């Protein structure tokens, strides 16, 4: 359950926690809060960089503008969490539950999102440049036989204006997603499901796309850049 002392200090409030973090040096900054029960907690502006939050329960937690850089959130429950403007750069979000989470303006650059649940997540204005969104190719064949889900789920997600440049969205489910004005330059969209997606004015220059993206039912490519 992590370090009880760390959890107690965090529950005292963000100000007390951040003051403690200022005093830490070196490896002491790697606080252990794995499996912590923080459902609905107000952690706005908390410095949780490099913290072990593996399998923590942050359901509906307020993490607006929190610093979660390089944090370990593998398997964490962030369903319905408010992560607007949060720094999640390089964070480990493998198998994390982000269903219905508000990630508007969040920095997810370089974050690991393999098998993360993102149904209904709001990623408007989010930066996902370099984020790892699906299993690397070397894992695909090994896992297909097991029946494990391999697709990134962006069903009906709001990605309007999101920076998805160079993102690996191979095989992702983007059905009904709002990708208006999204930057998808050089992204890998081969095999992606885009039925009903809105790609109006999206930048797809240099992107790897399957031929059927142009035939997908209900897709809006008005004004999209397809050089």
For residue 31, pLDDT beyond 90: no
Q: What is the pLDDT of residue 143?
A: 42
When mean pLDDT is compared over 92-96, 124-128, 176-180, 199-203, the highest value belongs to 92-96
pTM above 0.85, yes or no: no
- Taking each helix axis from N to C terminus, what angle separates 14-23 and 4-11, rounded to the nearest 10 degrees? 130
Residue 2's contacts (CB-CB under 8 Å, 6 or more residues apart) are: 31, 32, 33, 34, 35, 36, 52
Tell me: pLDDT of 152 over 50: yes
Instruction: Say if residue 62's pLDDT is above 80.
Output: yes
Enumerate the β-bridge partners of residue 137: none
Q: Higher-confidence residue: 129 or 50?
A: 50
Residues 190, 105: Cα–Cα separation, whole Å:
26
Rounded CA separation 122/82 (Å): 10
pLDDT at 223: 67
Q: Does 187 score more than 70 pLDDT? A: yes
pLDDT, mean over the chain? 82
What is the per-residue pLDDT for 135? Answer: 46
Determine the average pLDDT of the residues in 126-144.
59
Instruction: Provide the percentage of residues in the chain whose pLDDT is more than 90.
Output: 37
């Amino acid at each position: 359950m992590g370090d009880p002392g760390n959890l107690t200090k965090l529950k005292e409030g963000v100000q007390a926690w951040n003051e403690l973090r200022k005093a830490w040096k070196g490896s002491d900054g790697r606080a252990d809060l794995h499996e912590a029960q923080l459902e609905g907690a107000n952690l706005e502006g908390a410095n949780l960089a490099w913290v072990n939050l593996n399998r923590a329960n942050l359901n509906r937690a307020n993490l607006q503008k929190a610093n979660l850089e390089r944090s370990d959130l593998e398997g964490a429950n962030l369903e319905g969490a408010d992560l607007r403007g949060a720094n999640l750069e390089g964070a480990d979000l493998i198998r994390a539950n982000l269903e219905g989470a508000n990630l508007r303006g969040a920095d997810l650059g370089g974050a690991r999102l393999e098998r993360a649940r993102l149904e209904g997540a709001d990623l408007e204005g989010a930066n996902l440049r370099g984020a790892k969104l699906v299993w690397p190719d070397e894992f695909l064949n090994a896992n297909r036989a097991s029946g494990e889900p391999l697709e990134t789920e962006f069903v009906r997600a709001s990605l309007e204006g999101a920076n998805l440049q160079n993102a690996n969205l191979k095989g992702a489910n983007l059905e009904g997603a709002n990708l208006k004005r999204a930057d998808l330059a050089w992204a890998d969209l081969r095999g992606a499901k885009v039925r009903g997606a809105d790609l109006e004015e999206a930048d797809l220059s240099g992107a790897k796309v399957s031929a059927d993206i142009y035939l997908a039912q209900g897709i809006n490519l008005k004004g999209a850049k397809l050089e």
